[in-house]
Amino acid sequence: MTKSILKPLKQAGWNGSQRMIFIALNGIGNTIILTPALVNLKKNWPKSYVTVLTLRDSVGIISSNPYIDDVIVYPSKKSLLSRIVFLLKLRRQKYDISFYPYPNVNIMSALFAFIIGAKCRVNFYYRFLGKWSGIFDSISVPVDLEKHDIEKNLDLLRALNLKIYSKNPCIYIKKEDTKYVDGLLKNNVKRKDILIGMHVGSKEGMRIWHTENFASLAKKLSADKRVKILLVGTDIEMNLIKDFGEFKKQNIINLINKTTIPQTTALIGRCKLFVTTDSGPMHMAVAAGTRVIAVYLGPHIKRTAPYGKKHIVFLTNKATHKEDKNKNHIYVDKVTPDMVFKKIRKIL
């Protein structure tokens, strides 16, 4: 470990048993992407006490994770004054080390960490913002914008010379969640059925593949009587599918709004394939070990692609084509239901 890294850790009284906090105030997908860093941190320092400060929507991702000791919900909808008071109360916990994972706004994230007041604050440093961007940090880790976000977050640990044991995102599922999912599928899926999961929406409208495309794909898949299509999601997806008769057929299992995040992950884990946009459930599928077929209309393929080589992604953003080494990323001018159907049929 270099002297520049060792000094702030020594000042924090570093001995591997510190109180640590991850300030993870991003969406569901980003929180799933963070889980490898949380697991690896605890494996390196098993005696440490790891807290995650997160948003309410993301609690289900990490609440059952055995590598996390405490989860605190950030009051994001309260007034600015209330939020500052909340952070000042966290200061009383006297954390030894804080981490602010990617993505973050460097100055703002540094201020968050500064208010919480950990003795050693590990944050990202953005070269284009100049030397002052890391002024509040104890350890500034240069951001490599070419890396996947999983790798970026692991760089926070690499900066401390910690060993990386695994890079796979994970969501831990309780026995009662597994039992609940068994009950949902019991009367709907037979052993010979091919279960294909589908998530038709996204919180960001620019990432949504038009619902008529998903409806057309569902119709094509339904020609095979072995196929059952499992729908997951929230109110967004329920609203998107309401006017499409293709989603009311006998082979459709509509479980939208009927499961928590761990239960949804367990459901996706039962699927042969999972067809989705760039969304939180896409990363749930990766965590579940299910092969993803994603229609990727957003600009962040390098950052947030489904992690691993087995997943198939259709993209229309050709700007990254020459730099993308994943042979399962398919660049086209327009993603059509027929393209996706042909790929699924070939796999099946």
Residue 272, burial from CB neighbour count under 10 angstroms (0-12, 13-18, 19+)? middle
Long-range (24+ apart) CB contacts under 8 A made by 149-155 are: 149/30, 149/33, 149/102, 149/103, 149/303, 149/304, 150/33, 150/36, 150/37, 150/307, 152/101, 152/102, 152/124, 153/33, 153/34, 153/36, 153/37, 153/101, 153/102, 154/36, 154/37, 154/40
Structural contact between residues 235 and 268, judged by C-beta atoms closer than 8 angstroms = no
Q: Which residue has the higher pLDDT, 278 or 17?
A: 278
pTM of the model: 0.90
User: Is the per-residue pLDDT at 55 higher than 60?
Assistant: yes
User: Is the per-residue pLDDT at 326 higher than 90?
Assistant: no
| Of 163-172, 198-207, 331-340, the least confident | 198-207
Structural contact between residues 38 and 22, judged by C-beta atoms closer than 8 angstroms = yes
Give the separation between CA 89 and CA 309, rounded to whole angstroms.
44
| Helix intervals (H) in the chain | 3-11, 28-44, 59-62, 80-91, 106-116, 149-158, 175-186, 211-222, 235-241, 261-269, 280-288, 301-304, 337-347
Class of 3-158 in CATH: alpha beta
Q: Which residue has the higher pLDDT, 70 or 318?
A: 70
Q: Which residues pair with 194 in a beta bridge?
A: 227
- Please give the pLDDT value at position 317: 74
Could you please report the per-residue DSSP string of 14-44?
-SS--EEEEEE-S-HHHHHHHHHHHHHHHHH
**Residue 327 CB: number of other CB atoms within 10 A?**
8
Q: Which residue has the higher pLDDT, 348 or 2?
A: 348
Cis-peptide, bond into residue 281, ω within 30° of zero: no
Structural contact between residues 224 and 192, judged by C-beta atoms closer than 8 angstroms = no
- Please give the pLDDT value at position 130: 57
Angle, to 10 degrees, between the axis of helix 280-288 and the axis of helix 28-44? 40
Mean of all residue pLDDT scores within the chain: 89
User: Is the per-residue pLDDT at 81 higher than 60?
Assistant: yes
User: Where in the chain are the domains?
Assistant: 3-158, 175-347
Two structure tokens written together for 264: 């949804």
Long-range (24+ apart) CB contacts under 8 A made by 89-93 are: 90/21, 90/53, 90/116, 91/115, 91/116, 91/117, 93/19, 93/21, 93/51
- What is the mean pLDDT of the segment spanning 297-305? 80
Structural contact between residues 234 and 204, judged by C-beta atoms closer than 8 angstroms = no
Give the separation between CA 99 and CA 103, rounded to whole angstroms.
12
Closest CA to 305 of 225, 207, 215: 207
Matching CATH number, 175-347, of 3.40.50.2000, 3.40.50.720, 3.30.565.10, 3.40.1260.10 = 3.40.50.2000
pLDDT tens string 168-189: 999 999 999 999 999 999 988 8
Confidence band, pLDDT 50/70/90 cuts, at residue 2: very low
